[in-house]
Amino acid sequence: MRKILPLLVLACAFTTQAEQHQSHWGYEGAAGPDQWGNLELDFATCKKGKQQSPIELSGAEIAKFSAPQLNYAAQPLKLTNNGHTLVQDVSAAPAHMSFGGQDYNLKQFHFHTPSEHHLNGKSFPMELHFVHSDADGQLAVVGVFVQQGTTNSTLQQLLQKVPLLKDETVADQNSALDLFALMPAEKHFYHYMGSLTTPPCTENVHWLVLNTPIEASAEQLKQLNQLVGNNSRPVQNLNARTLTLTR
């Protein structure tokens, strides 16, 4: 892992010129989260929106709806470094979620270090986002907190083959990632209506954050933080929204 940081620095130096015609956003300084809304007209929702994510999760009401049902087949590894995070593609095998009478397809999952949502005033070393879409393009994201503990087998499969350069993809058709190993056994979900946590901060996203963290080893958390950097947007105001928790 010692070789990764210099490689990432090199990758940034190579891509700077190509990126000049694209929007720059990041997690610190003049392109950091509190400036996203000023960087591009299309990003205005980042500062004007009233339903932004992430948020502090506490004081939830009991949800009127039942918990989502997840049905994920094992997936072959197809991991892309997009310069902001690592994204595991989910398109090779069926992965469905039923929620609120709608059927959603899992599209991808990715990583934030440290966590974006906070739980009862506390952040975690990592948060996974499982991004789903229904046939009409309605988004629903399942969030999973990760705390330090025992080694996670699925994360270990991913960490054995990681794309180090921006826009690089690593694939392995022979691997089978068990996505349920990235979720707690007991599934109670916080639900609220929020947004993408990256520009353009689009709203009307169903957020479903599991209230029980999973575990990863200290070494796995360190490696993932070295790979994706500190890529967490600060918590946003709840405003007039309702936060609920499924039984």
Least distance to Zn ion, CB of residue 143, Å:
8
90 Cα distance to chain centroid = 14
Least distance to Zn ion, CB of residue 128, Å:
8
C-alpha to C-alpha distance for 133 and 55, rounded to whole angstroms: 21
Distances (CA, A) of 118 to 125, 129, 169, 229: 11, 14, 31, 18
What is the size of the binding site for Zn ion (CB under 5 A)? 1
Stretch that binds Zn ion, among 35-43, 45-53, 123-131, 180-188 (CB under 5 A): 123-131
Does 191 bind Zn ion (CB under 5 A)? Our answer is: no
Q: For residue 61, give both structure tokens.
A: 């009401």
C-alpha to C-alpha distance for 15 and 72, rounded to whole angstroms: 35
Q: Among residues 117, 129, 132, 206, which is the contact residue for Zn ion, using CB under 5 A?
A: 129
Does 206 bind Zn ion (CB under 5 A)? Our answer is: no
Stretch that binds Zn ion, among 97-105, 125-133, 161-169, 208-216 (CB under 5 A): 125-133
Least distance to Zn ion, CB of residue 112, Å:
5
Reduced to 3 DSSP states, what percent helix, strand and coil does the chain have, rounded to the nearest 5? 20, 35, 45
Among all residues, whose Cβ is closest to Zn ion?
129
- Closer of 172 and 211 to Zn ion (Cβ): 211
- Closer of 129 and 191 to Zn ion (Cβ): 129
Reduced to 3 states (helix: H, G, I; strand: E, B; else coil), residue 74 is: coil
- Closer of 117 and 129 to Zn ion (Cβ): 129
- Return the closest-CA partner of residue 116 out of 129, 107, 106: 129
Binding mask 132-151 for Zn ion (x = CB under 5 A): --------------------
Residues annotated as catalytic (active site), given as ranges: 84
- Closer of 78 and 129 to Zn ion (Cβ): 129
C-alpha to C-alpha distance for 164 and 114, rounded to whole angstroms: 19
Strand pairing report for 75-81 and 169-177 = antiparallel
Least distance to Zn ion, CB of residue 14, Å:
25
Least distance to Zn ion, CB of residue 2, Å:
27
- Closer of 172 and 203 to Zn ion (Cβ): 203
Run of H or E including 194: strand 189-195
- Closer of 53 and 152 to Zn ion (Cβ): 53
Least distance to Zn ion, CB of residue 98, Å:
22
Determine contact, residues 57/117, Cβ cutoff 8 Å: yes
- Return the closest-CA partner of residue 147 out of 207, 69, 210: 210
Determine contact, residues 53/205, Cβ cutoff 8 Å: yes
Q: Which residues bind Zn ion (CB under 5 A)?
A: 129
